[in-house]
Chains A and B, each alone.
Chain A
Amino acid sequence: MNAIQSLGRATLNWLETFGYSTLFLFASMFGRPRFKNVWTLLSTQFYSVGVLSLVIILCSGFFVGMVLGLQGYTTLTKFGASQAIGQLVALSLVRELGPVVGALLFAGRAGSALTAEIALMKTTEQLDSLRMLGVDPLRRVIAPRLWAGFIILPILVLIFNAVAIFGGYLVAVEWLNVDAGAFWGNMQASVDFSDDIVNGIIKSIVFGLLVTWIAVFQGYTAVPTAEGIGFATTRTVVYSSLVILGADFVLTAVMFGGV
């Protein structure tokens, strides 16, 4: 009986949190915007969420692409199909690795920073202070961060893909002597714009929304103590990673699985 009771309580708690976070999302994204300084607020966030994530996105993209090129080459050569390396690199990046790895890195870099920043503002009473000054923190603090994360992740993923493909090219063509024409030609012939690239972008838009939503919500609801900030940041990274991988399976099934 006790096990059933605690299961019931856990479910109710989960539903309550989920409902609250959904209301929170809608209130901050679609609340009456203040056009007065919307660009200043957004561009600040584009910088801290996007530009500051660039280094990790560029480095990781480059290495992921090189590893793909190397692994793909050794496997494909066994079948005498090393010409198909361009296709392998591009398809796996555009469909899967770009959005997923990009979003995981984004959760680690920008998501955790967002949570920590908002939780710190809560702990130091800055959010209450805003309320006392007659400014709604949902619109002032949360909304620009949500929109920035939502818009910026697809762009970061495109950059990640481009750099990774270049990394794959360097390894396959410049180092392992695959024919450059075959590399680019096979890639062009097999990557379809609407099937592959657009689906990849849709994935990254979904991930962007999920990660930023989790990050700002965890920050906003953090227990306002030093310990609470730490817990909230950890939860952001853990929840985001799980949600990204879970959502990726669902999206892949719908997009490529013929479901």
Chain B
Amino acid sequence: MTIDPILEINHLTYARGERVIFEDISLKVTRGQIIGVMGPSGTGKTTLLRLIAGLLRPQTGSVKVNGAEVTQMSSRELYIMRKDMSMLFQSGALFTGLNVYDNVAFPLREHTRLPENIIRDIVLMKLQAVGLRGAAYLQPRELSGGMNRRVALARSIALDPAIILYDEPFTGQDPMTMGVLINLIKLLNHALGMTSIIVSHDVQETASIADYIYLLSGGHIVGEGTPDELFNSTVPQVKQFMQGLPDGPVPFHYPAGDYQQALLAENV
């Protein structure tokens, strides 16, 4: 795991107001791999992606992408860095008012001086890759949830980024769409030589494609390893999450006073 890390996070601490979201987190991502970042809802997995992309700045610690320190970049440098990195948002975040074709063409028109006929070829190739060339002239509101995410995927690979960040790509998708997405992520990663970081709480789906998984809980990394290592882990927190047990180190009950007393209390 130490050869040519494309992304390196060292001793990162991030707090929002009083609430500490990450405390002293370190992780490394090797070029060309698919990395899963998993953890229960509300552990700030999405926040981690935003920190990597420089949309948020941590209090302390460093985030290095391709050896360059993201936390120190000016907003101009950040915009340049992000041409090499893209994010697939949970909602897809397609631009309303632009059709599928224009959405995919958007980054090309913004950042390149390519003539329109070449842009057209690239857009059609990207759409073909996600299987939606036939939907090129639909509006975002006419797409199903799964199609929406595939178009967003086509848009995020339009500039052939080196890193792609997936924010909960499987959430709210039917099993068929999930299968399609899993295949696409794997295919794109290998065919285009990208590095993928998938944030998700869908254990089976993520484990089926990830080369390496980090497990986040309560602001710390509680476990890491290949999917097999994590499934066989005996650390109680890892075991509870990977096997989906309802009670364990993460309790079923939200902290509360004594149950009996609450029921018998007179003055409510």
Contacts and interface: CB of A to CB of B under 8 A. Distances in A.
A134 B111 CA distance: 8
Interface stretch (B13-21, B32-40, B84-92, B174-182): B84-92
B75 interface: yes
B102 to A, nearest CB: 12
B260 interface: no
Contacts of B93: 124-126, 128-129
Interface in A79-138: 120-121, 124-126, 128-129, 131-136
B83 A134 contact: yes
B53 A132 contact: yes
A135 B86 CA distance: 12
Nearest to A124: B91
Interface residues of A, number: 13
Contacts of B156: 132
B121 interface: no
Interface string A123-158: 011101101111110000000000000000000000
A120 B97 CA distance: 13
B75 A134 contact: no
Contacts of A121: 96
Nearest to B82: A134
Nearest to A120: B96
B110 A131 contact: no
B110 A132 contact: no
Contact of A131 (B82, B90, B106): B82
B95 interface: yes
Given A126-B95, A126-B96, A128-B55, A134 B89 contact: no
A133 B94 CA distance: 12
Nearest to B90: A125
Contacts of B82: 131-134
Nearest to B140: A124
Contacts of B110: 133-135
Contacts of B53: 131-132
Contact of B89 (A120, A129, A135, A136): A129
A240 to B, nearest CB: 24
B107 interface: yes
A124 B103 CA distance: 15
Among the interface residues A124, A131, A132, A136, which one has the most CB atoms of the partner chain B within 10 A?
Answer: A132
A133 B96 contact: no
Among the interface residues A121, A125, A136, which one has the most CB atoms of the partner chain B within 10 A?
Answer: A125
B137 interface: no
Contacts of B86: 132-133
Contacts of A135: 79, 110
B143 interface: no
A133 B107 contact: yes
A136 B95 CA distance: 14
A80 B83 CA distance: 75
Interface in B93-130: 93-96, 106-107, 110-111
A133 B87 CA distance: 9
A108 to B, nearest CB: 23
A126 B111 CA distance: 18
Contacts of A126: 93-96
B168 to A, nearest CB: 12
16 contacts: A124-B91, A124-B96, A125-B93, A126-B95, A129-B93, A131-B53, A132-B53, A132-B55, A132-B85, A133-B82, A133-B106, A133-B155, A134-B107, A135-B79, A135-B110, A136-B79
Please provide the 10 A-B residue pairs with the shortest distance between their CB atoms, ordered closest to farther: A129-B93, A125-B93, A125-B89, A134-B79, A132-B87, A134-B82, A133-B107, A134-B83, A126-B93, A124-B91
Given A120-B96, A132-B86, 15 more contacts: A124-B91, A124-B93, A124-B96, A128-B55, A128-B93, A129-B87, A129-B89, A131-B53, A132-B55, A132-B85, A133-B82, A133-B110, A134-B79, A134-B80, A135-B110
